[in-house]
């Protein structure tokens, strides 16, 4: 299901003008509100033509409306940019394939995929039912996988046809995926899975001219508005809204541009005015007996290694 609206103008707001992403075509999932909306606007402001994907569902994934995606398209067009709405479900093969097709059929190419769509169904583990687990895994992890699969297949075909792309994928993880979050076992697991998927995709698709990175943003959206409602930092004339989703988008735009050449398989935290390169799992203290340990020996060695290791970061919400 698609609906399109395009416009043209001058300057950075138009897909045919100037800007870091001038001449490039981006698709952004979950772009009707929050972070996705901010990313779509920021990409358009830097010259990209944008496919705005959103089902218009509620915070828990229920319902649906074409309004949010079309509203963002109308805003981009009013600013002199070019955009098209896409209402397909990217957690289905049909929806993900049509997302890629919409970009190619409308704008003639695809250069950027920003995977952002998601919702919450929070419960403590012992109260978390299978439906809530499956629903969150479906939209976050399967949605990332399918959009990446069909975009990757398109770019592979382009590369094999001699039209080597300079393609970019930006996946959306979370601090919950990096550290875990109490009451969000399903969400944390899905966001951690996105990090693993990012690393694999970067390794597999690099030969076709595709770079794949992930962000772990912190911003005030429908999913976090209660947490960040009062988070404001006065900085400069008029103040600085530290939790505005627009603070995350500049990094996304740069990662989506040709200026980010050579940056792939990396994870960035982005919050307010701070950008952090996350270093992930890497070997710490180690011991090698050169033979099989007994259980008692393994325990003794583990205690020595733990004493030499850095303490892990605390899980969000842990006491």
Catalytic choice (150, 191, 208, 257): 191
Contact 191, 173 (CB under 8 A): yes
149 is catalytic: no
Rounded-to-integer distance, Cα 218 and Cα 53, Å: 21
Cα angle value 149/248/27 (rounded, 5°): 30
Rounded-to-integer distance, Cα 30 and Cα 85, Å: 11
Q: Which of 255, 241, 231, 186 is nearest to 46 (CA)?
A: 255
Rounded-to-integer distance, Cα 27 and Cα 252, Å: 12
Rounded-to-integer distance, Cα 225 and Cα 38, Å: 15
**3-state secondary structure at position 73:** helix
Rounded-to-integer distance, Cα 34 and Cα 302, Å: 44
* Torsion sign across C-alpha atoms 318, 315, 145, 19: positive
191 is catalytic: yes
Run of H or E residues at 270:
strand 267-271
160 is catalytic: no
Residues 6 or more apart whose CB falls under 8 angstroms from that of 148 comprise 113, 115, 169, 171, 197, 201, 212
Catalytic choice (98, 174, 188, 257): 174
Task: Return the active site residues.
Answer: 174, 187, 191
């Amino acid at each position: 299901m698609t609906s399109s609206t395009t416009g043209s103008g001058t300057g950075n707001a138009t897909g045919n003008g100037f800007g870091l992403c001038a001449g490039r075509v981006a698709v952004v999932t979950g772009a009707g509100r929050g972070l996705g909306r901010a990313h779509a606007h920021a990409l358009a402001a830097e010259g990209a033509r944008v496919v705005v994907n959103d089902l218009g569902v509620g915070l828990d994934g229920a319902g649906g409306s074409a309004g949010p995606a079309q509203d963002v398209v109308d805003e981009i067009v009013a600013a002199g940019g070019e955009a098209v709405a896409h209402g397909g479900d990217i957690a289905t093969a049909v929806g993900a394939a049509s997302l890629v097709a919409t970009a190619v059929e409308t704008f003639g190419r695809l250069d950027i995929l920003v995977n952002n769509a998601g919702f919450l169904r929070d419960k403590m583990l012992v109260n978390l039912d299978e439906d809530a687990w499956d629903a969150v895994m479906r939209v976050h992890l399967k949605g990332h996988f399918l959009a990446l699969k069909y975009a990757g297949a398109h770019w592979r075909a382009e590369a094999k046809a001699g039209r080597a792309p300079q393609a970019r994928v930006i996946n959306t993880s979370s601090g919950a995926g990096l550290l875990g979050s109490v009451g969000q076992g399903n969400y944390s697991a899905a966001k951690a899975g996105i990090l693993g998927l990012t690393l694999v995709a970067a390794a597999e698709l690099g030969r076709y001219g595709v770079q794949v990175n992930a962000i772990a943003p912190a911003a005030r959206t429908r999913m976090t508005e209660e947490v960040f409602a009062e988070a404001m930092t006065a900085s400069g004339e008029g103040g600085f809204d530290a939790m505005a989703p627009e603070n995350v988008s500049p990094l996304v735009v740069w990662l989506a541009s040709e200026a980010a050449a050579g940056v792939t398989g990396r994870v960035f935290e982005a919050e307010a005015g701070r950008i952090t390169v996350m270093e992930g799992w890497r070997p710490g203290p180690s011991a090698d007996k050169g033979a099989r340990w007994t259980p008692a020996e393994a325990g003794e060695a583990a205690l020595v290694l733990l004493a030499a290791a850095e303490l892990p970061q605390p899980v969000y919400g842990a006491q």
